[in-house]
Amino acid sequence: MTPSRFLVTGGAGYVGSHVVLALLDAGHEVVVFDSLRTGHRAAVPPQVRFVHGDLADLPLLDSVLADGPWDGVLHFAALSLVGESMAQPLMYMSANGALGFNLIDACVRHGVKRFVFSSTAALFGSAGDAPIDENTNIDPGSPYGESKLVVERALYWADKIHGLRSACLRYFNAAGSDPLGRAGEDHRPETHLIPLVIDAALGRRDALTLFGQDYPTPDGSCIRDYIHVSDLAQAHLAVLPLLKERSVTFNVGTGRGASNLEVIRSVERVSGLTVPWNLGARRPGDPASLVASPALLMRETGWRPEYTELDKTVATALAWRQDHPVGYGDE
């Protein structure tokens, strides 16, 4: 791929920071725009220009985009807690939806031609046991999912009317950390299962609560598709060439599911430690199984996940949390 220049919003966050590393590794120039509401300044490599700003600040956003040309914008800046969105739906529709519209509009005005959007499998709600492909019925089960859907629709019209080509990548469960230890997972509070299980094993938190063990799955616990964050990052680079001709939408996962109990057993195998855990009641809205069908992405881009074994993904997450006991530090 020819060296290019990209603006990455939310590039100080978990997925965004790994995409920044992938872009740098491929020889591209990157500028990160982040409010640090949930991201970390230390997650941005020192050679990357960092702009501390919010997408609500239209003059600042215009000044950044005016400093072109840009070969594309990759948009990760968003709130992402499903439970929080159920309590504060309008905050999510504003932070993810309305501010996403701000960015899309600014890209159109400044002549940006390619846009990659961090979407979500939360668009599908309870989709059943079969792997979820791009034709699966969309039925967001939360304001978080809805806030991502409205941005997808805005991008559809931005393409149809203004020619802004976009890729909507519907992530399943991002997991793991950069294998070279340059970036990792540091949510505050942490809500993702793998780091919670690891912290329980390391004695950094109380016993884990497993929500529900009476689902219609082989071991009774929920099943999810865990895609290594570095594989996810490579998917963003893989779709860029397609945007010279058309907009695309892809589901991004491994095509394999792992249950909550399997995650616990994986952490125990990799760490050699025992995970203390308790059984709790189901959480409202948790589907029994969410597994991607990434066949379309593979077929159209040649992308393939390297981390197809859960233990290998867990090993990178464990290494990060052992080497960074306080994440990116006290900020």
| 236 CB-near residues (< 8 Å, 6+ apart) | 19, 22, 74, 116, 167, 169
For residue 79, pLDDT beyond 60: yes
Q: CATH code at 10?
A: 3.40.50.720
What pLDDT is recorded for position 128? Answer: 65
- Contact call for residues 266 and 311 (beta carbons, < 8 A): yes
Nearest to 180 by CA among 308, 323, 44: 323
- Of 57 and 130, which is predicted with more confidence? 57
Reported confidence tier of residue 160, pLDDT bands at 50, 70, 90: very high
Reported confidence tier of residue 226, pLDDT bands at 50, 70, 90: very high
For residue 1, pLDDT beyond 90: no
Q: What is the mean pLDDT of residues 107-134?
A: 89
Strand 223-224's sheet: what is its strand order? 258-259, 223-224, 289-290
Q: Is residue 88 part of a domain?
A: yes
Reported confidence tier of residue 100, pLDDT bands at 50, 70, 90: very high
Q: Which amino acid is at 277?
A: W
For residue 315, pLDDT beyond 60: yes
132, β-bridge pairs: 292
What pLDDT is recorded for position 82? Answer: 84
Number of domains in the chain: 1
Q: What is the mean pLDDT of residues 216-241?
A: 96
Q: Is residue 23 part of a domain?
A: yes
Residue 53, CA distances (Å) to 10, 11, 32, 50, 98 in order: 10, 12, 10, 9, 16
Q: Is residue 38 part of a domain?
A: yes
Nearest to 235 by CA among 300, 156, 317: 300
Reported confidence tier of residue 81, pLDDT bands at 50, 70, 90: confident
Token representation of residue 214: 């009476």
Q: Is the pTM of this model over 0.85?
A: yes
Reported confidence tier of residue 129, pLDDT bands at 50, 70, 90: low
What pLDDT is recorded for position 130? Answer: 77
Q: What is the mean pLDDT of residues 12-17?
A: 98
Q: Find the domain containing 14 and state its range.
A: 5-174+226-253
pLDDT digits (tens, 9 = 90+) for 34-72: 999 999 999 999 999 999 999 999 999 999 999 999 999
User: Around Cβ 186, how many Cβ atoms within 10 Å?
Assistant: 24
Quote the mean pLDDT of the chain.
95
For residue 164, pLDDT beyond 70: yes
- Residues written for the chain: 331
165, β-bridge pairs: 114
What pLDDT is recorded for position 126? Answer: 65
Interior CA angle at 288 toward 265 and 170, to 5°?
95
For residue 329, pLDDT beyond 90: no
Q: Is residue 276 part of a domain?
A: no
Give the distance, in angstroms, between the CA of residue 261 and the centroid of all CA atoms in the same chain.
23
CA atoms of 249 and 271, how far apart (whole Å): 37
For residue 324, pLDDT beyond 70: yes
Q: Is residue 211 part of a domain?
A: no
Q: What is the mean pLDDT of residues 262-281?
A: 97
Catalytic residue ranges: 144
* Residue found under tokens 């990178």: 316
Q: Is residue 283 part of a domain?
A: no
Q: Is residue 86 part of a domain?
A: yes
For residue 330, pLDDT beyond 80: no
**117 sits in which H/E element:** strand 114-120
Q: What is the mean pLDDT of residues 293-308?
A: 97
For residue 21, pLDDT beyond 80: yes
What pLDDT is recorded for position 299? Answer: 98
CA atoms of 254 and 305, how far apart (whole Å): 6
Backbone angles phi, psi at 193, to 5 degrees: -65, -50
Q: What is the mean pLDDT of residues 9-32?
A: 98
Q: Is residue 105 part of a domain?
A: yes
Q: Is the peptide bond before 189 cis (omega within 30 degrees of 0)?
A: yes
Reported confidence tier of residue 92, pLDDT bands at 50, 70, 90: very high
CA atoms of 320 and 181, how far apart (whole Å): 6
- Contact call for residues 117 and 152 (beta carbons, < 8 A): yes
| 136 CB-near residues (< 8 Å, 6+ apart) | 124, 127
CA atoms of 154 and 146, how far apart (whole Å): 13
What pLDDT is recorded for position 279? Answer: 92
* Residue found under tokens 């992308």: 303
